[in-house]
Structure formats: C-alpha cells, structure tokens
Amino acid sequence: MTNRILKVGFIVFIFSISHSQSFSQIDQLAENYPELIHERTEVRTLHSNTLEQDYEILISLPKSYYIKDTIYPVIFLLDPYRSFSIVKGYTDVLTSPYTYIPEVIIVGIGYGGNGPEAMLNWALGRTRDLTPVKSAETEDIYRKRLADAGAPNVEVQTGGAALFLDFIKKELFPFIETNYRIDKNERMLSGYSFGGLFAMYALFYEPGLFSKYFIGSPSIHFKDGITFDYELNYASNHSDLEADVFISAGELEEMTSQNIKKMVELLSSRNYENLILKMVIFENEGHVTCYPAAMSRGLVELFSNEDDEN
C-alpha cells in the first residue's frame, strides 16, 4: 500500500503543477525562447494499429553513429518523460572518455501531447500499458486522485500489458530495425515502478524478446502479487531462462524490497543455466530517489566491458 500511495502521490504532484499559475508562466516562456533539445536525439511519431493510437518515440543516437558503420545495442526505455534525460546522461558519461559500457541507442516510448495534455496522456497510458491484468481497485484510486488534482471524469484503464508487448514486438521493433543500425541480439528493456512490473511480465511471457532487463522498484504487489503466479507458471513449463537481469529497490520501500528478495530467491532456486541475476538494495533510498542510483549501477552491471581502461 505504501508504494501505491507514493506512485499516486507522484501523479497528483504532476497534475497539481500542471494546473497551477506557475505552469502557465512556463508555457508562456516556452513561446518566447528556444526549447532545449538533446544533442543527437530525434522525436518521431509511430502509429500503432494494435492499439489504434500514436506513440511518441524519443531516440538518442551514440556520438559515433554518423562516423562509424556499425551496429549498436539498444535500450527500450519505458516512462521516458521522467527517465530519458537521466539515462542519456549516464550512457554518455559511461562511454566517454572511459569505456565502462558500449555506446547504445536509446528508444523511449512515450505518448505525445503538450503541457498538461502530455502529462495526462502519460499518466493514463502507462497505467493501461504497463499493468498485466485489469484492476478495478487501481482504476478507482487513480480516477479519484486525478479528479482531486483537477482532471475529473477521466477514464482510467488497466490490464493492457499484453497488447503493449505486442505493439513493441510487431510494430516498434520493425520500425527501429528498419531506420537505425541496431544489434538485434542486444536489446535491453528498462522499466521502473509500473515499468518494472511490465518488464517482469515480459520476462516471464516472452523472455527472448530482450537479452537484458533493468527492473527497478517493480510493483510486484499489483493485483495481490500476480507476478509470482507468472513466475511459477514459467518455471512449471520451462527448464531454462536465458536473460541478463538487474533488479533493485530502495531500502526505504520495504514492501518492494521484500518482494524482490522473494522473487530473486525463487529464480535462484530454479537453477536456470542461462539466467544471470543481480539484485541490489540501495541503502537510505526510497521509491523516487532510488532511480538515478539504480540506473547507473544497472547500466554497468548489464553492459559491463571486461576491457575497461578506467
């Protein structure tokens, strides 16, 4: 319950800002001054026939992309509106001047829109796409919180993970592979909170889609811990799990920490030959503050280069 309140509080904070006078002033400033644009970053629109909507795709290219004829690992990043800048910054730092990880392409999967509309699209989109089954309880909580924050009569949906994973596999992968030089054998899925919940869903339903998984503070408690059912079902029907997984949480988010410890214990007991599993609990960190530390550590663990010259 604590983690759920934290996530809902974060959404309330966003919408409280978006409906304040200060946000209007920011919009006004944006009309008068150039917008900040990340270097080597493209923003493209991809229509999904699977979900009958447009997705805003944020793409960061490596420094060497236009001077080398090579292929690159790719990170598929969930929740890019709160994580894209952090991940891009860390990947740039970790590749130059010292090579801790290889250069990567980052693909952020967003929902588009401007100002308050963009925030609402993101909040509703992630709640639908990143949750594996319908949860009336979650929908009621988010609907009430959004109404309290100034967005009444909003339809909140859950349980769209299967369709979202289908969109990634059948529409996003071909789009990225057609337009960019990526290594199809080096795909990483990066998710935090609900995104971590989705990453675990993908891990147990179609693990071969990605070779690496960053799973930060996953909402394993969602729907009475249904993710543990997915793990058991996978273990009952498979003798191996080929994936490189980094999973983490903050020490202060006690329920999540206990849940991932239980999950890691279960996975370790399966003795999967090709599963590489690393868990880190970050001391004195909570659900929101843990993300930068987790991402920095996760990138190194998942993409570490044995030939570092640091």
Extents of the domains making up the chain: 38-115+158-303
Q: Give the start-end residues of each E strand in 171-293.
A: 182-192, 212-216, 243-250, 275-282
pLDDT of 150 higher than 90? no
Which residue did the predictor score with more confidence, 112 or 20?
A: 112
pLDDT at 145 over 80: yes
Is residue 232 scored above 60 in pLDDT? Answer: yes
Phi-psi sector, 203: left (phi>0), alpha (psi -120 to 50), beta: alpha
The residues that bridge with 212 in the sheet, in sequence order, are 188, 244
Q: 30-68: per-residue pLDDT in tens?
A: 566 666 677 888 999 999 999 999 999 999 999 999 999
Q: What is the pLDDT of residues 295-309, one digit of tens each?
A: 999 999 999 854 444
pLDDT value at position 158? 98
Please tell me the pTM assigned to this model.
0.88
Superfamily of domain 38-115+158-303, CATH level 4: Alpha/Beta hydrolase fold, catalytic domain (3.40.50.1820)
